[in-house]
Amino acid sequence: MPSSAMPPPTPTSLYGGATGRRVTVRDLAAAKERREKWPMLTAYDAMTARVFDEAGVPVLLVGDSAAMVVYGYDSTVPVTVDDLLPLTAGVVRGSSRALVVADLPFGSYQASPAQALESAARFLKEAGAHAVKLEGGHRVLPQVETLVSAGVPVMGHLGLTPQSVNAFGGYRVQGRGESGEELMKDAKDLERAGAFALVLECVPAELAERVTTSLSIPTIGIGAGPATDAQVLVWQDLMGLTPRPARFVKQYGDLAGDLDRAARAFAEDVASGAFPAQEHTYR
């Protein structure tokens, strides 16, 4: 049916629902049972977090993608816990309803479960995050089990795991052929280890559908087809700020064009003396 004819969200809906409190992992589990699809967006500061929160987006991810879209690196690998902590704190302060998930960056959890718990505790205690996300399958199961047993909600991430881009030899679709069965096993193992949700990035749509139907926890797709329980995008991709977005990105705005036009108009007004005018001047 057309969007104008869609029924309004109910109070229990994840997207746009009025709960009067923060969304929790229990709400995500209930949405899975209702077969309700929902959106997730990245956020890196208080102002965009407020906009997305007021738009009804139920989960905000402070992604290690900040390495590229905030700090200007060419991959997610260089970003650190100290880089992401203030961004996470800003997103938490800027939102009032969304569940805020913080990425554990490369090198902050791989060494041991104890290292993972130390890093996760900083995000929860110092930044106010409500959950953390980490990448990988069987190799991080001890970390997931330790975090969950310590009371830290964990979101998993399989498929194209950007922190392993050097091992993959580039950004490539994952899970084709026999590797798809390994991904399926990793997904089930992560669920058993206690993960509350699972991101599937750049995997064949048929595999993502199989994983989604086989798990009781929600799946969140990014380049994984339409069958996952939720979809996530980096907000700069969504809004048209990224010069060459990936195939799976749909651009919903032209913020790069808007910024360019506004900057040029401001600069021309300053150069001509048209700004500031009397209405912008104190007496």
pLDDT tens across 166-211, in order?
Answer: 554 555 667 677 789 999 999 999 999 999 999 999 999 999 999 9
Rounded average pLDDT over 22-42: 97
Rounded to whole angstroms, the Cα distance separating 108 from 111 reads: 8
Nearest to 236 by CA among 97, 23, 42, 40: 42
Of the candidates 61, 69, 66, the residue with the CA atom closest to the CA atom of residue 102: 61
Alpha helices, DSSP H, located in 140-219 = 141-149, 165-168, 178-193, 205-214
Both tokens of 54, joined, read 């007021």
Active site residues: 201
Which pLDDT does position 173 carry in this prediction? 66
Render pLDDT for 66-124 as a digit per residue (tens, 0 to 9).
999 999 999 999 999 999 999 999 999 999 999 999 999 999 999 999 999 999 999 99
pLDDT tens, residue by residue, 33-56: 999 999 999 999 999 999 999 999
Q: What is the mean pLDDT of residues 138-157?
A: 98
Share of the chain above pLDDT 90, in %: 85
Secondary structure class of 210 (helix, strand, coil): helix
- Is the per-residue pLDDT at 1 higher than 50? no
